[in-house]
Chain A
Amino acid sequence: MTRHSDPTQVQLTADGRLKHFLTTEGLSKDLLTEILDLADSFISTQERAVKKVPLLRGKTVVNLFFENSTRTRSTFELAAKRLSADILNLDIARSATSKGETLMDTLWNLEAMYSDMFVVRHADSGAAHFIAEQVTPGVAIINAGDGRHAHPTQAMLDMLTIRRHKGTLEGQTVAIVGDILHSRVARSQIHALHTLGAKEIRVIGPATLVPKEMEELGAKIYFDMEQGLADVDVVIMLRLQKERMSDALLPSEGEYFKLYGLTEAKLTLAKPDAIVMHPGPINRGVEIDSAVADGDQSVILNQVSYGIAVRMAVMAMAMSGQAAEQAAQKNESQETTGDDA
């Protein structure tokens, strides 16, 4: 079976509820807002003595990471645990697939263990979408990053961070700085910012790392950091993947820091109350100066806390969509049987 369907449609039930979370692209403002609102209420449950809610009690979530990511995997794990689900961490990079088992064989084996949700991180763009199409009805797929394509939970935790610190997404000018070319985060952010009403989205970076098609997504391209940062409300720094240096896409780390590293001096060009974000892990002295990362305008650690709440929200909503769809189908088949009888 080949993949031709639209990922936006695959992730929604017939009545428009979320049942997988694959991409922020094409999702309505109402739905994205519902995710943020629900995440807000999960922030408050995590401040209690008992941080868990029993919403997904008895459900089994499998963290399926074909690519390593300690932070994303642990926040998904905590999110599942705080929803009272059972969670299994599978480091596929080091297990069955390396013994020759195909992706679908691995999945069918996990399904046979009565799993209810897969959280998928994969180096290939479209991997989560592919799995969502193949998986048994009733099982939810959450995209935890696929190739250069999308990282929707990271984008939504960034939206939550902006909303909580700025009050609203509407009317904000947001600059995304760094390696846009290889960044699935930037793509998901741009879609979400656009839908949620940001006034202006800027992408800043060296010409080798900022693809032209960013303009088609509705972002303005800047190669000059000083110009790009002028009067922005939000600065999102991206991690510089050091392996890009060897691809000859960049000069030296020192040169990069000089041109695109966020320093206190450069930050003064943004609005005085601008916030600084970074998806982590940060490279101090490469894309961000320690004084900024640890400074008053930095909300980098808040992002980590909000990440758990956002992941709880999408897990709850996807499982909820699956439950509602399954219940509807069950009722339908009962009615059919009733007619026959």
Chain B
Amino acid sequence: MTSSATALPDAEALCQQLSSDIKQLIVEKELKQPLLIGIRTGGAWLAQRLQQSLELPELGILDISFYRDDFDERGLATQAKGSELPDSIEDRAIILVDDVLMSGRTIRAAMNEIFDYGRPTSIHLVSLLDIGQRQLPIQADLVGASITINPEQKIKLSGPNPLQLSIG
């Protein structure tokens, strides 16, 4: 590889920081009945951690396989597992959690899916890492860290224990 290795932040530390940032967000925005929803797979691990540290009673897991916009290019992801959301998300304040925010397409798909489950009061977006390269007008409310990488490179979160970021 020709590009110099980008130093990646410690995922565990970012997770802790996000946890206290979310706590503050819930207070500041007066979020009623907040519900964390993590996007499979990395976002779900992260959301699970955050749920524990924030001591929230429920957790939602979103699998966006049926909502992707690249079906005609790639077909269906073979590991589609389905979503697991609470019975009702009506009037809930959703905090959507993903590991790496890039083009914004995943978030668009996730929001489309959420609205098929009901009408939440609000959605806030939390991401462990923001690597730019946006293709849609989508921004996170809270990010662990923002970094710039070579467009050919991909960032991967491995987990769930411990959470670790790697670049490839």
Contact = CB atoms under 8 A, between A and B. Distances in A.
A48 B78 CA distance: 23
Nearest to B74: A324
A38 B116 contact: no
Interface stretch (A52-60, A180-188, A264-272, A275-283): A52-60
Nearest to B118: A49
Contact of B117 (A38, A40, A50): A50
Contacts of A37: 80-81
B57 interface: no
Interface stretch (B65-73, B91-99, B159-167): B65-73
B72 A41 contact: no
A317 B116 contact: no
Contact of B82 (A40, A49, A317, A319): A40
A324 B74 CA distance: 5
Given A48-B116, A49-B116, A34 B73 contact: no
A323 interface: yes
Nearest to A40: B82
Nearest to A316: B76
Interface residues of B, number: 21
Given A45-B66, A50-B116, A54-B67, A321 B75 contact: yes
A320 interface: yes
A109 interface: no
A166 interface: no
B76 A53 contact: no
Categorize the interface residue count of chain A.
20 to 34
A54 B63 CA distance: 13
Contact of B81 (A41, A321, A326): A41
A49 B66 CA distance: 16
Given A41-B82, A49-B117, A55 B75 contact: no
B112 interface: yes
B158 interface: no
B83 interface: yes
B116 A52 contact: yes
For the complex of A and B, list the 6 residue pairs with the smallest distance between their C-beta atoms, beginning with the closest. A41-B82, A320-B75, A320-B76, A324-B75, A53-B66, A50-B116
10 contacts: A45-B66, A50-B115, A50-B116, A50-B117, A54-B66, A54-B67, A54-B112, A56-B71, A319-B71, A319-B75
Given A320-B71, A321-B75, A327-B73, 19 more contacts: A37-B81, A41-B63, A41-B80, A42-B82, A48-B116, A49-B116, A50-B116, A53-B66, A53-B116, A54-B66, A316-B76, A317-B76, A323-B72, A323-B75, A324-B74, A324-B75, A326-B72, A327-B72, A327-B75
Interface of B: 63, 66-67, 71-76, 78, 80-84, 112-113, 115-118
